[in-house]
Amino acid sequence: MHPSVGIRSILVCETQVPFVRGGAELLVQQLVDQLRRRGFTTDKVSVPFQWHPKQEVLAHAAAWRLLNLSESNGQPVDLVIATKFPTYFARHPRKVCWLVHQHRAVYELADTRFSDYAHDELDVALRRQVMALDEQMLAECAGCYTISQTVTDRLARFNDISAPPLYHPPLLAPRLESGPYGSYVLSVSRLEDNKRVDLTVQAMAQAPPGLSLMVVGEGSQRRRIEQMAVTLGIGDRVQFAGAVSDDDLVTLYAGALAVAYVPFDEDYGLATLEGFLAARPVITATDSGGTLEFVTHDETGLVCDPSPEAIAAAMARLDADRALAARLGEAGRAVARQITWDAVIERLVSHG
């Protein structure tokens, strides 16, 4: 793909929580790399983000609004691509949003255990203010897209904004390959409340005794979940690997029986596609959001209730029927291989 007529320089905007690196950060870096490969002069604009105390949300939105990204070093910037809240507050005459998510605590997570926003007067007022600002800033965009149908549906529900999804492949896509179906289930996720890795750990207490669980990832809930495994008496069957190298992760995917990924209302879920590209069936939950755009029950994986009992039953079914695991995994790989960067880049730069 050659650079579009009129577009040479592009800035990709991200919010960065210091010391945290997850799927959104990887997505931004991939987008920058993919644009550069196609001949665009591309750089990243990153500003730290803080959501506590709650009023800081407005301050950080204001900080992005102060940014005029129309030129750099005396040269015009042809296009700005915003991603998460509040990057789309930045000023530029040609701004496109590829929405990872808004400030979720204000939207679909409000009034749940995953958000500190309740249904009281102050919180409701702050939520309304953020929503109104979102609608104003997103309306400035020459084009608005999302990373998944789940995010698209949220945007339509809360803001009455139409934005088609643009799916992207994971960073490890070219390297993932299938190996023998082993005796461990793999969990790849940040260890935070809404990722619900604790459900998978609890499931291991009821899973077949020959199965073990490999947990890859770091997060604020690691110590609690590790202690949970010990308390349940399955400390010897659950290994916490922390952050691992790409080489090790490729190997872990290739040797797993399945991938267990049961977050609450996930935006996208790269672990789903990574598992598919390694021909691993994915176990997910009925309320896991973006994972359900790829995991079809009994076709590319198993969809179960978000309970340890249901997850354990799914593990047991795959453990007892390796042919089923292989069939589901191969079907998932066929789905994931259809997702490429070309369609994403073409749409994002078409507004030049």
Q: Averaged over 192-207, what is the pLDDT?
A: 97
The closest alpha carbon to 278, from 337, 194, 205, 235, belongs to 337
Is 82 within 8 Å of 10 (Cβ atoms)?
no
Whether 33 has a pLDDT exceeding 90, the answer reads yes
Burial 139-174 (b: 16+ CB within 10 A, else e): ebbebbbbbbbbbbebbeebbebebebbbbbbbbbe
Q: Averaged over 240-268, what is the pLDDT?
A: 96
**pLDDT digits over 146-184, tens only?**
999 999 999 999 999 999 999 999 999 999 999 999 999
Q: Averaged over 196-208, what is the pLDDT?
A: 97
Looking at residue 17, its pLDDT comes to 79
224-228, 266-270, 297-301, 319-323 — which is least confidently predicted? 266-270
- First-last CA distance in the chain: 15
Is 287 within 8 Å of 172 (Cβ atoms)?
no
DSSP notation for 100-147:
S---TTTTTTTTSTT-S--SSHHHHHHHHHHHHHHHHHHHT-SEEEES
d(CA 53, CA 56): 6
Classify 347 as helix, strand or coil: helix
d(CA 301, CA 282): 5
The CATH code of the domain at 184-336 is 3.40.50.2000
What is the percent of the chain where pLDDT is above 70? 98
Cα–Cα distance list, 80 to 98, 151, 348 (Å): 10, 20, 10
The CATH code of the domain at 9-166 is 3.40.50.2000
Whether 142 has a pLDDT exceeding 80, the answer reads yes
Confidence of residue 264 (pLDDT cuts 50, 70, 90): very high
Whether 1 has a pLDDT exceeding 50, the answer reads no
- Return residue ranges of the chain for CATH 3.40.50.2000: 9-166, 184-336
Instruction: Name the average pLDDT for the chain.
Output: 93
Beta strands in the chain (DSSP E): 9-16, 41-48, 71-72, 75-76, 79-82, 95-99, 143-146, 184-188, 212-216, 238-242, 258-260, 282-285, 301-304
Is 143 within 8 Å of 98 (Cβ atoms)?
no
Cis peptide bond prior to 169, omega within 30° of 0: no
**pLDDT digits over 52-101, tens only?**
788 889 999 999 999 999 999 999 999 999 999 999 999 999 999 999 99
Q: Averaged over 250-262, what is the pLDDT?
A: 98
Whether 352 has a pLDDT exceeding 70, the answer reads no
**pLDDT digits over 273-321, tens only?**
999 999 999 999 999 999 999 999 999 999 999 999 999 999 999 999 9
**Position 177: which residue type?**
E
